Amino acid sequence: MELAHILESQQFAADLDGLDDFYRLAIDMEHIFESGGDPSILKGAHAVNLFSQPSTRTHASFRWAQYYLGVNIAFDSENAKDFSSESKGEVPRHTVRVHSQYCHDPRKIVIVLRHGNFKAMQEFAQYSPGAHIINAGCGKSDGQHVTQTLGDVLTIRRERPGLKRPVIAMVGDLRNGRTVRSLSYLAPRVFPETKIIFASPITLAMMPDIKEYLSRHGFVYEETFEPKDFPEVLRQADVVYMTRIQREDLAGSDLDRFEEYQLAFQLNAGNLDGIKETGLIMHPLPSNKELAPEVDDDPRAVYLTSQLHNNLLVRMAGLHTLLKPHC
Ligand code: NCD
């Protein structure tokens, strides 16, 4: 698959053969991971990691991916909002040109970007003089987190290879979460005849643009806002994709109800038994109270194991796809 940037799920949804190639590459990355890395693979390539919002997994796994493939980390900011010129109001079209200017060949640079504003990410790509942009989680209720989704879909495929017509339940803060937006774009393309069930408090419902996209393409989805329906959602689901209530994005009465919202669709010992034996429990993390501690040890829960692993592999594959042609 030839790509200049990795920005949104639609790039992969539009090219399923390319996605298969990408996943083959991701699986190949497992050998490199298992051997402890091969720094010759992307020798001469450089990474600029710009994180303007908090991140643990995405940032760490990109750094590991860069280590395994021998990418030089030229610049790394885990608080770019406060400790880079972004704090002084620098515009994305300048930031991308500045970072590109230091390299004799900007095509050897990848800028791994986490940003609160999706349009800022688009500007990085638009004004880039050759550096490749990877969306490491950008935007909010208009946003996407495409590398998370690539890893999530790979996890479902690897964990449940024979899964036909999966029912995927997305649960929690669907309005503010960018992971579920990216997943909604890609999952129904990859898994034919899937049904998506959105389960959330009514004020945190999935945004209309995603629902319009699903309807326009004839993909099936349902919505529920009633905690009393949650056991039935769990009973139907092949994949239970939990997300946290994003307190930082709540205001007014939603903020007052933060605690209540977390518990309304909580997975716990009381309802865990209702999930199919072959079901898969996923979460992009970090989690709060929507996951009771006992869920961690459930054999169907993969958010601390293969989901993390596959996310690392797709990040390695993403770096390889963008940078290898120039190394
Ligand atoms: C998510 C994010 O930042 O969008 N985390 C992640 O990268 N895995 C989800 C979240 O913040 O809850």
**Residue 61 Cβ < 6 Å to ligand 1:** no
Share of the chain above pLDDT 70, in %: 100
- Radius of gyration (C-alpha) of the chain in whole angstroms: 19
Based on the domain organization, do 298 and 185 belong to the same domain? yes
Position 170 in a domain: yes
Pocket test for ligand 1, best of 179, 244, 315 (most atoms within 8 A of CB): 179
Position 226 in a domain: yes
- What would the two tokens of residue 286 be? 């970090």
Containing 119, the helix (H) or strand (E) segment is helix 118-127
**Residue 149 Cβ < 6 Å to ligand 1:** no
Based on the domain organization, do 137 and 17 belong to the same domain? yes
The tens digit of pLDDT for each residue in 36-63 reads 999 999 999 999 999 999 889 999 999 9
Containing 208, the helix (H) or strand (E) segment is helix 208-216
Based on the domain organization, do 206 and 116 belong to the same domain? no
**Residue 84 pLDDT level (bands cut at 50, 70, 90):** confident
Q: What residues are paired with 167 via a beta bridge?
A: 195
Based on the domain organization, do 322 and 284 belong to the same domain? no
Q: Report if pTM > 0.85.
A: yes
Nearest-CA residue for atom 7 of ligand 1: 58
Based on the domain organization, do 64 and 191 belong to the same domain? no
**Residue 137 Cβ < 6 Å to ligand 1:** yes
Ramachandran assignment for 87, one of left (phi > 0), alpha (psi -120 to 50 degrees), beta (any other): alpha
**Residue 57 Cβ < 6 Å to ligand 1:** yes
Q: Are strands 167-171 and 109-115 parallel, antiparallel or unpaired?
A: unpaired
Containing 171, the helix (H) or strand (E) segment is strand 167-171
Side by side, the strands of the sheet bearing 239-242 are: 220-224, 195-199, 167-171, 239-242, 280-282
Look at residue 35 and tell me whether its pLDDT is greater than 90. yes
The tens digit of pLDDT for each residue in 206-239 reads 999 999 999 999 999 999 999 999 999 999 999 9
**Residue 315 Cβ < 6 Å to ligand 1:** no
**Residue 283 Cβ < 6 Å to ligand 1:** no
Position 1 in a domain: no
DSSP 3-state assignment of 277? coil
Taking the centre of ligand 1 as the mean of its atom positions, its distance from the CA of residue 284, in whole angstroms, is: 6
Report the C-alpha gap between 230 and 227 in whole angstroms: 5
The tens digit of pLDDT for each residue in 249-308 reads 999 999 999 999 999 999 999 999 999 999 999 999 999 999 999 999 999 999 999 999
At 145, the amino acid letter reads H
The tens digit of pLDDT for each residue in 110-142 reads 999 999 999 999 999 999 999 999 999 999 999
Domain count, the chain: 2
Report the C-alpha gap between 274 and 229 in whole angstroms: 12
Q: What is the pLDDT of residue 291?
A: 98
Position 4 in a domain: no
Pocket test for ligand 1, best of 9, 261, 285 (most atoms within 8 A of CB): 285
Pocket test for ligand 1, best of 145, 146, 314 (most atoms within 8 A of CB): 145
Domain assignment of residue 134, given as a range: 10-144+308-326
User: Measured from the CA of 53, which atom of ligand 1 is nearest?
Assistant: 3
Nearest-CA residue for atom 6 of ligand 1: 284
Q: What is the pLDDT of residue 81?
A: 75
**Residue 179 Cβ < 6 Å to ligand 1:** yes
Taking the centre of ligand 1 as the mean of its atom positions, its distance from the CA of residue 131, in whole angstroms, is: 25
Containing 153, the helix (H) or strand (E) segment is helix 146-159
Based on the domain organization, do 226 and 283 belong to the same domain? yes
